[in-house]
Amino acid sequence: MPTHHHYFVYILSSRSRTLYIGVTNNLNRRIHQHREGTADSFTRQYHIHRLVYFETFQYVGNAIAREKFLKHFTRAEKLALISESNPTWEDLAPPAATT
């Protein structure tokens, strides 16, 4: 039986709505890394750890292509994308996202 993999493109936000776009194969682990400050100096410096948007993909190539596509969006397009699916900008990750 084939194993199904899941890959995620995600957008994190700070309270002041500074955005970060990333890709991962384990969303909970990655969010935990951002919250602990071990993932990326940019997200640590600007306190970007609220998951406000994500998409799921079966193939890593598709996820990477989507991440690159989203990174070329204007700020207004990114804000509209988030607001369309998450109008109140709720944190979509569990409070204690762990590995």
Tokens of residue 70, six digits: 């989203």
Q: What is the pLDDT of residue 1?
A: 54
Global confidence as pTM: 0.89
For the chain, domain boundaries? 7-85
- Mean pLDDT check: name the lowest of 42-46, 49-53, 61-65, 85-89: 42-46
Is pLDDT of 99 > 50? no
Tokens of residue 90, six digits: 């709720």
Q: Are 23 and 64 in contact (CB under 8 A)?
A: yes
Across the chain, what does the average pLDDT equal? 91
Is pLDDT of 38 > 90? no
| CATH number belonging to the domain at 7-85, selected among 1.25.40.340, 3.40.50.300, 3.40.50.970, 3.40.1440.10 | 3.40.1440.10
